[in-house]
Amino acid sequence: MKPVLVAATLVLIGIIPCAAKTAAKKLDYPPKAFDALYDQTSALGTSSYREVSDGKGHVRIENNMILPGHKHHIKLMVLLEDYPKRQLIVLDSVNKVAHVKPMAPSQSGAPIDKDRIKELAGKSLGVKVIDGHPCHGWEYDDGGKTQVWFGDDTGCEVQFTTEGQNGTQTQHLRKYDPLPQNSAALFAPPPDYKIQNELAPPANASSPPSGPPQLHP
Query: Which tens digits make up the pLDDT trace of 99-146?
Result: 999 998 878 888 888 888 888 899 999 999 999 999 999 999 978 899
Considering the entire predicted model, what is its pTM?
0.75
Give the residue from 109, 63, 52 showing the smallest Cα distance to 86.
Answer: 109
Compute the half-sphere exposure of residue 149: CA atoms within 13 Å on the CB side of its CA: 20
Which residue stretches of the chain have pLDDT < 70? Answer: 1-27, 65-75, 201-217
Phi/psi at 7 (5° precision): -65, -40
**What span, in angstroms and rounded, lies between the C-alpha atoms of 104 and 131?**
34
The pLDDT value recorded for residue 202 is: 46
Q: Cβ(77)–Cβ(7) under 8 Å?
A: no
Compute the half-sphere exposure of residue 88: CA atoms within 13 Å on the CB side of its CA: 21
In 3-state terms, the chain is what percent helix, strand and coil (to 5)?
10, 45, 45
Question: Which residues, other chains included, contact 180 with Cβ-Cβ below 8 Å and sequence gap of 6+?
Answer: 35
The pLDDT value recorded for residue 194 is: 96
The pLDDT value recorded for residue 217 is: 37
* DSSP-based three-state secondary structure for 78: strand
Residue 26 per-residue DSSP state: S
Give just the sign of the alpha carbon dihedral 128, 48, 3, 191.
positive
**Cα–Cα distances in angstroms (integers) from residue 19 to residues 78, 109, 124, 144, 163, in the given order:** 19, 9, 15, 10, 12
CATH architecture, range 3-10+23-197: Clam (2.50)
Give the residue from 200, 195, 201 showing the smallest Cα distance to 213.
Answer: 195
- The dihedral region occupied by 194, where left means phi > 0, alpha psi between -120 and 50, and beta the remainder, is beta
The pLDDT value recorded for residue 97 is: 95
The pLDDT value recorded for residue 99 is: 96
The pLDDT value recorded for residue 190 is: 94
The pLDDT value recorded for residue 94 is: 85
The pLDDT value recorded for residue 19 is: 39
